[in-house]
Structure formats: C-alpha cells, structure tokens
C-alpha cells in the first residue's frame, strides 16, 4: 500500500483522503488551516457533504488518515487546493503554487504528483513538473 499525501482538505480533498484511507492506504491530509486539521483529527468534519461524516470518521478511526499542517514524505501527492477565478477570468494559481512549493523538498524519483484542482490545460506539464522534477 502506498502512502498518499492529500494537499487541501476541502470538498475534493477530504472525501479523496477518506476514501483512500478506508481502502487501506496511509494518508496524510494536509491543510493550512489549523482549525480544519484539528477538526479532522478529532474525527469530525468542517464541511457538509452527504455521507462524508461517516466516511471521514471511519478513515480517522482506522488510524490511516491523519491531518497535518505540513506535508510529509509520501509516494503519491494529490493537490486539491482552490483555484478561484480572478477579475480577468483567469485561474488564480497562487494556492497551487504554494502547495507545490510545500512538497518540492519531499518528492523523490518515481513518486506520483496529481493535480486535482481545476486548472488550465497543460498546468501539470508546464507549471508543476519543471518545479518538482
């Protein structure tokens, strides 16, 4: 089983992290919000989504999901941070860039980095790969 870091524990990241954890993977869920990290580590959730409370509680209760303010060395990194639309109708990539910087010191040869955040085509190839490889 792989160790998976899910960066950003919102509507996309928390269900993703919880699903992998309930299927036997070690998951480190990362968020910049201390409130969110503490809430999840208590086996509670900070967002409303049908079925998520039960799933996240099982994930944390299994010992496979732990939330943290900082990423840790993993085999797979899944980025699920916001990409809000700017005034000019472009994607604001600030959160993605910050998330990528947070994993740069950890990524090793053979790891998998997945960008789940809604982004312009080519972002993984042109913006992320040159930074993490």
Ligand X SMILES: NC(=O)c1ccc[n+]([C@@H]2O[C@H](COP(=O)([O-])OP(=O)(O)OC[C@H]3O[C@@H](n4cnc5c(N)ncnc54)[C@H](O)[C@@H]3O)[C@@H](O)[C@H]2O)c1
Q: Give the residues lining the site for ligand X (CB under 6 A).
A: 7-13, 30-33, 36, 80-83, 95, 98-99, 102, 116-118
Q: Which is nearer to ligand X, 14 or 64 (CB)?
A: 14
Q: Which is nearer to ligand X, 14 or 22 (CB)?
A: 14
Least Å distance between CB 81 and ligand X?
Answer: 4
Least Å distance between CB 27 and ligand X?
Answer: 14
Q: Which is nearer to ligand X, 61 or 120 (CB)?
A: 120
Least Å distance between CB 17 and ligand X?
Answer: 11
Least Å distance between CB 79 and ligand X?
Answer: 8
Q: What is the DSSP string of the chain?
A: --EEEEE--STTHHHHHHHHHHTT-EEEEE-S-HHHHHHHHTT--SS--TTHHHHHHHHHHTTSEEEESS----SEEEE-----B-TTS-B--HHHHHHHHHHTTT--TT-EEEE-S---TTHIIIIIHHHH-
């Amino acid at each position: 089983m792989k160790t998976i870091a899910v960066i950003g524990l919102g509507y996309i990241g928390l269900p993703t992290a919880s699903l992998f954890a309930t299927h036997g993977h070690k998951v480190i869920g990362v968020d910049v919000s201390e409130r969110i990290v503490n809430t999840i580590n208590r086996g509670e959730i900070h967002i409303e989504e049908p079925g998520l409370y039960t799933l996240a509680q099982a994930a944390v209760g299994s010992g496979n999901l732990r939330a943290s303010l900082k990423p840790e060395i993993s085999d797979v990194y899944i980025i699920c941070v916001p990409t809000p639309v700017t005034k000019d109708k472009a994607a604001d990539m600030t959160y993605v860039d910050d998330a990528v910087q947070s994993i740069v010191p950890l990524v090793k040869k053979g790891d998998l980095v997945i960008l789940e955040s809604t982004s312009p085509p080519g972002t993984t190839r042109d913006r992320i790969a040159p930074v993490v490889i």
